[in-house]
Chain A
Amino acid sequence: MTLALHARGLEKRFGAVAALRGVDLELESGQCLAVLGPNGAGKSTLLRILAGLARPSAGQLRVAGRDQQALRRGAARALVGYVGHATLLYSELTAHENLVFTARMQGVAEPGRRATELLETQDLAHVAARRVGTFSRGMSQRLSIARALVHDPELLLFDEPFTGLDRGAADALAERLAALRDGERSCVLVTHELHQASRLASEAIVLAYGRVVARARGGSLERAELEAAYARAAGATP
């Protein structure tokens, strides 16, 4: 069994505040893990640590077999594709230019061709020459996903990708994420949307006050089970 993700005792402190308190995780390659929890539970902090954007205060982490030290060095950062709260895009550049820039930074061969290909798969080819600053939230989110896919990463990390989207756009995005999951990539999805989590993820954890308070596993997650765990987490005390 190959593990896309393996974390033991992850902790993160910001001064006196503990954002994560000993999180253990395992995710097999090709699986999708949903991370649920109320605001302030430590979900985004966990995702930023998994991406290599923040250092844990304690604990061990391996992504696709590489340890944390390797992840913080240049080449291993290409293992991960990250879609954050924000889009990580440049408003003054066009959609095509944003992807070409990212492809150059990732060392992708033929950046222009790769950018065009991704714009087509995300249904953004018709706005390729438009500046990103003029995009709707839904279009920006699709472009942000294309950006994360530029270098064909092994592990995709999504931080609340449905935030700010209307129902139609959220469903369309969920379909795209399902297609990515079926493409045998591993993914971690941080979300408040329980129905999207139960639809997309094969495993789920619920965080509260930096601790894992519930886990669910299986081919299709029961929404009722997740709702019960989420309700328990929302009522949990530190």
Chain B
Amino acid sequence: MRVILAILWKDLVSEWRARERLMAMLVFSLLVVVTFHFALPAGTGREQIQANAGGLLWVAYVFAALLGLNRSFAQELENDALSGLALAPVDRGAVFVGKAVASFVLTSVVQAIVAFAFAIAFDLDWIGQAPRLAGIVALGTLGICSVGTLFAAMAVRTRFREVLLPILLLPALFPVLAGCVRATSEVLAGRAIPYDAVQLLIVVDGIYWVVSYLVFEYALDE
């Protein structure tokens, strides 16, 4: 727990002072929302928007998360701080959890702002669904941040890390996105949560966290 908290504290304090990741993620995902706003044909009905909102929202969320995960380890390259982490006499699984939780916190902040902006841009009323939506988004983000942190650590020492991370991560996110988009769409349409989608998310999250925790030991090696 000591290591997890130390990494979490370090990442959040660094980000609070630099605001590099947050700004990049926020600007990018808001641009996606604005683009969708102009891309939809005039006269598109609220029901149609509501039906597609889950998919549109997760496009913005996934690409924002990719940006954040890339930066999460890129900042460790400055002054070769990554070697400092690799030298620490700790369970590297704890380093993984600290980094993944920090990414989860930052991504969640961006997601909340983007959801608010999305609702305003498309004149949607999500207030009633907010707690259920937050739960589904949190489950999806946990999955993205677990395997995303592992792949970001593997990609960071390569020359093509900006390209390699999406290539590795996006195929692995298919089951997460399948569950998230479906559950989000149902909730936004005011229907009941599809529990099979939630079960899928819980199982995939569990597998991704356990596997990433175990494999991270080797991800920090040169």
Contact = CB atoms under 8 A, between A and B. Distances in A.
Interface of A: 48, 51-55, 74-78, 80, 82, 84-93, 97, 101-102, 104-107, 131, 147, 151
B13 A82 contact: no
B30 to A, nearest CB: 24
A87 B80 CA distance: 7
Interface string B32-66: 00000000000000000000000000000000000
A-B pairs, 8 with minimum CB distance: A86-B80, A88-B84, A78-B89, A104-B6, A105-B88, A77-B89, A92-B14, A92-B17
Contacts of A151: 89
Contacts of B83: 51, 53, 82, 84, 86, 88
B87 interface: yes
A214 B183 CA distance: 69
6 contacts: A74-B89, A85-B80, A87-B79, A88-B80, A88-B84, A104-B6
B192 interface: no
Contact of A90 (B5, B81, B87): B81
A52 B10 contact: no
B90 interface: yes
B125 interface: no
A90 B59 CA distance: 32
Interface of B: 2-3, 5-6, 9-10, 13-14, 17-18, 75, 78-81, 83-92, 221-222
Contacts of B89: 74-78, 106-107, 151
B222 A93 contact: no
B13 A106 contact: no
B3 to A, nearest CB: 6
A44 to B, nearest CB: 11
Contacts of B86: 53
- Which one of A77, A84, A105, A131 has the highest number of Cβ atoms from chain B below 10 Å of its Cβ? A105
A131 B17 contact: yes
A52 B87 contact: yes
Contacts of B14: 90, 92-93
Contacts of A104: 2-3, 5-6
A95 to B, nearest CB: 13
Contacts of A75: 89
A53 B17 CA distance: 29
Given A51-B83, A77-B89, A82-B87, 11 more contacts: A52-B87, A53-B83, A53-B86, A53-B87, A54-B222, A85-B80, A88-B83, A92-B17, A93-B14, A102-B88, A105-B90
A107 B13 contact: no
Contacts of A54: 222
A49 B85 CA distance: 16
Contacts of B9: 101
B27 to A, nearest CB: 20
A86 B76 CA distance: 12
A103 B154 CA distance: 26
Nearest to B78: A91
A105 B82 CA distance: 13
B158 to A, nearest CB: 14
Contact of B90 (A51, A55, A91, A107): A107
A147 B80 CA distance: 13
Nearest to B6: A104
A172 B147 CA distance: 46
Contacts of A76: 89
A85 B80 CA distance: 9
A105 B3 contact: yes
Contact of A101 (B6, B75, B87): B6
Given A84-B80, A102-B84, A104-B6, A92 B13 contact: yes
Contact of B222 (A53, A91, A97, A147): A53
